[in-house]
Structure 1
Amino acid sequence: MTTATLEKVSIVVSKGSLEGIYPALIMANGARAEGIEADLFFTFFGLDAITKKRYEHIKFATVGNPGLHLPTVVGALPGAPDMITRLMERRMAKLDIPPIPEFIEMISDTGAGLYACKASVDLFELEKDDLIDEVQGIITVGDFYNLAANAQIIYT
């Protein structure tokens, strides 16, 4: 029996929280480490990961996050998002998982493509200058599908 080899992944990043962005970055980094072509398409709140004003200030979502196993009211307390974000950042640092800006730069340096969704950029009234330098372009969904031809599409 012959096994197929994955050659290309296209990852859609739609959430603007730590737990929404990191899985995409980890998957893209892992793909590149295995020699698999990888592209990231940032849409809706996922744009926070590539927006200059926001990408250094991404927080962990604490309200309505069942993975935290905390009552919603606890996650809504003042300071809870900052405290939990700092805790998670310390844990990730112990595992040598870099902060988002450094991770994105690393992934870009490996040849992965980073693209912003045109509809979302327009919706949030952003321009190319609002995005980090690693973003290769602002593209439509149709452009993304063309880019993702023959790729496994992953939605995070």
Structure 2
Amino acid sequence: MAENEKIKKLSIVISKGSLEGVYPGLIMANGARMAGIEVNVFFTFFGLDAITKKKMNNIKVATVGNPALGIPTLIGALPGMSTIATNMMKKQMEELDIPPVPEFIEMISDAGGKLYACLATVEMFKLKKEDFCDQLEDILTVGDFYNLSAGGQIIFT
């Protein structure tokens, strides 16, 4: 890409269902929309939790197998550790005026970002369109997502 050429289209794949897995993609999508960049967000596997009505308000920090937290896996596996870590992270995000997942999803959609679910994962998890938030644009195959992303950048978070 030439030095003076700007990104015009960005497609982001969100595949993890933890706070630290969902937020990077949402922050990037929101930032891109604020910069006038066309944005498509493709949710697959546990990333679907961010747009599933029953789960989007209850996304937690993964404390087991997360070396970035700096706590041993054995401690992270103790009952309540994920809740404690999640509450601490949500408090810090609130102090920074970072919205909760459902509000973030709504902001991205209201700004013109398009949200899509992966058909294969939706079928695997036996979900239906009505299981998802109203902001979901459509349920697509991977091929459809690639076609939608043509000419742009794809980022996997």
* TM-score, normalised with respect to structure 1: 0.98
2:86 corresponds to 1:85: yes
Q: Does 1:123 align with 2:124?
A: yes
- The 5 A counterparts of 1:3-152 are 3-152=4-153
Instruction: List gaps (5 residues or longer) in structure 2.
Output: none
- Between the two proteins, the alignment pairs up a number of residues equal to 156
1:116-145 Cα distance to aligned partner (Å, 9 max, x none):
000000000000000111000000000000
Q: Secondary structure at the match of 1:126?
A: coil
Separation in 2 of the partners of 1:93 and 1:8? 29
Which segments of structure 1 move beyond 2 Å, counting only runs of 4 or more?
none
Of all paired residues, the percent bearing the same amino acid is: 62
Paired residue type of 2:60: K
Q: Distance in 2 between matches of 1:87 and 1:74?
A: 16
Give 3-state SS (helix, strand or coil) of 1:150's partner: coil
Q: CA RMSD in A?
A: 0.8
Q: Which amino acid aligns with 1:30?
A: G
For residues 38 and 75 of structure 2, the distance between their equivalents in structure 1, rounded to whole angstroms, comes to 41
What's the offset of the Cα at 1:3? Answer: 1.7
Report the more deviating stretch, 1-10 or 85-94.
Answer: 1-10
Q: CA deviation at 1:9?
A: 0.4
* Structure 1 residue 2, shift from structure 2 partner: 4.9
CA distance in 1: counterparts of 2:3 and 2:122, whole angstroms: 43
